[in-house]
């Protein structure tokens, strides 16, 4: 059986597939060449992608032998799940495999606001010894608002609570008996507006869907505290970037950490690049050495299971 991989995968995942007898063709840049991909897919039994390959109806139809799609990550907005279902092609994703890495990214953002060590170090190396500007603040007692209370938020909440933060959340699909509420102790807000006005830090952990598109726009930014920060590791398009740039420039909010953008790589003319209170990273929140090995092996194993008609708990 033949497997095509169109984006970056760690070698451990490829080894797992080869050791199980699969023929693997791997080209981490194939997602950039749509025409070639459409021609090639015809010969493969499985396709493994990350978040750049557009797995739409056209691509699925061009691969009549496809038995499974593997997604090296969690967000599924680049895959037409409905069409795959209609065509009987299961989609396997890396359930929970990079959640800890994303949670640690969020904690890094919080701590880099509270203790700006790199700025202090930079200043010392310029010959200064300024003990006023870089003193920072404590996270203890501050309020963190989590939008979306799934796997990543659960891990962010546990870590932030251990710093003595108040953790509140908003997720219309969560009930009191869900783990994050009943065992972690996140206080659930009935409305997004309440969360926005009460939080010192807001972190987004929702999928990109029609209901979350531009969930954070001008009105929402206006209701945030002037001293507050927003952290987006979920998906570009959930925050309206033009409205955010305006809010950052006006001082409506204090700052932003953005790991995901509507257009990736970021457009060179993006107004966000001119905002010194925005920290922008190239979609790396979920990418650590550990999470990548975990993700690659997990997806390779689960794709293998589906190919052998065995049950997989990672099928969406």
> Which of 154, 155, 205, 283 is an active site residue?
283
Site track for ligand NAD across 170-189, x = CB under 6 A: xxxxx---------------
CB atoms inside a 10 Å sphere around CB 282: 11
With contact defined as beta carbons under 8 Å apart, do 67 and 307 qualify?
yes
Determine if 236 is a binding residue for ligand NAD (CB under 6 A): no
Site for ligand NAD in 41-70 (CB under 6 A): none
Select from 68, 69, 152, 230 the one that contacts ligand NAD (CB under 6 A): 152
Q: Using the minimum distance from each CB to ligand NAD, give the nearer residue, 149 or 306.
A: 149
Q: Is 118 a catalytic site residue?
A: no
User: For ligand NAD, how many residues bind (rule: CB under 6 A)?
Assistant: 31
Site track for ligand NAD across 201-230, x = CB under 6 A: ----xxx---xx------------------
Question: Distance between CA atoms of 308 and 17, rounded to whole angstroms?
Answer: 12
Residue 33 CB, nearest approach to ligand NAD (Å): 24
Strand 201-204 to strand 187-188: parallel, antiparallel, or no bridges (unpaired)? unpaired
**Facing residues of 71 across strands?**
49, 93
Q: Is 264 a catalytic site residue?
A: yes
Q: Which residue is nearest to ligand NAD (CB)?
A: 150
> Which of 250, 264, 267, 290 is an active site residue?
264
DSSP state of 285: T
Strand 2-5 to strand 229-232: parallel, antiparallel, or no bridges (unpaired)? unpaired
Residue 122 DSSP SS3: helix
Select from 143, 203, 234, 252 the one that contacts ligand NAD (CB under 6 A): 234
Q: Using the minimum distance from each CB to ligand NAD, give the nearer residue, 91 or 102.
A: 102
Determine if 233 is a binding residue for ligand NAD (CB under 6 A): yes
- Tokens 């979350």, located at residue: 212
> Which of 235, 241, 262, 294 is an active site residue?
235
Q: Is 235 a catalytic site residue?
A: yes
Which residue stretches of the chain are H helix?
Answer: 11-19, 34-40, 57-61, 81-86, 99-114, 117-125, 151-162, 179-182, 192-198, 218-223, 241-250, 289-307
With contact defined as beta carbons under 8 Å apart, do 234 and 208 qualify?
yes
Nearest to 69 by CA among 97, 105, 41, 98: 41
Site track for ligand NAD across 279-298, x = CB under 6 A: ----x-xx------------
Question: Distance between CA atoms of 295 and 38, rounded to whole angstroms?
Answer: 26
Site for ligand NAD in 94-133 (CB under 6 A): 98-99, 102
Q: Using the minimum distance from each CB to ligand NAD, give the nearer residue, 40 or 283.
A: 283
Q: Using the minimum distance from each CB to ligand NAD, give the nearer residue, 283 or 305.
A: 283
Residue 123 DSSP SS3: helix
Binding site for ligand NAD (CB under 6 A): 73-75, 98-99, 102, 147-153, 170-174, 205-207, 211-212, 233-235, 259-260, 283, 285-286
Residues catalogued as catalytic: 235, 264, 283
């Amino acid at each position: 059986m033949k497997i095509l991989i169109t984006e970056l995968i760690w070698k451990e995942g490829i080894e797992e597939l080869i050791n199980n007898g699969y023929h693997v063709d791997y080209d981490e840049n194939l997602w950039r060449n749509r025409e070639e991909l459409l021609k090639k897919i015809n010969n493969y039994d499985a396709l493994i992608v990350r978040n750049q390959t557009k797995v739409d109806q056209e691509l699925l139809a061009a691969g009549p032998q496809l038995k499974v799609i593997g997604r090296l990550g969690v967000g599924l907005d680049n895959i037409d799940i409905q069409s795959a279902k209609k065509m009987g092609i299961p989609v396997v994703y890396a359930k929970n495999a990079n959640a800890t890495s994303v949670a640690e990214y969020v904690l890094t953002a919080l701590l880099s606001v509270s203790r700006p060590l790199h700025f202090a170090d930079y200043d010392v190396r310029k010959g200064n010894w300024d003990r006023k500007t870089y003193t920072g603040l404590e996270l203890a007692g501050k309020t963190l608002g989590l939008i979306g209370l799934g796997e990543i938020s659960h891990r962010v909440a546990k870590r932030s609570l251990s710093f003595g933060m108040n953790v509140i959340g908003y997720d219309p699909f969560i009930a009191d008996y869900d783990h994050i509420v009943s065992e972690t102790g996140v206080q659930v807000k009935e409305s997004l507006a309440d969360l926005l006005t009460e939080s010192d830090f807001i972190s987004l952990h929702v999928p990109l869907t029609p209901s979350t598109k531009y969930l954070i726009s001008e009105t929402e930014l206006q209701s945030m505290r002037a001293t507050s920060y927003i952290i987006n590791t979920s998906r570009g398009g959930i925050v309206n970037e033009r409205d955010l740039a305006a809010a950052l420039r006006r001082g409506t909010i204090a700052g932003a950490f953005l790991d995901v953008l509507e257009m990736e790589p970021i457009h060179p003319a993006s107004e966000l690049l001119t905002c010194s209170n925005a920290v922008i990273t190239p979609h790396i929140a979920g990418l650590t050495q550990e999470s990548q090995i975990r993700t690659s092996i997990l997806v390779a194993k689960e794709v293998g299971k589906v190919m052998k008609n065995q049950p997989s708990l990672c099928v969406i």
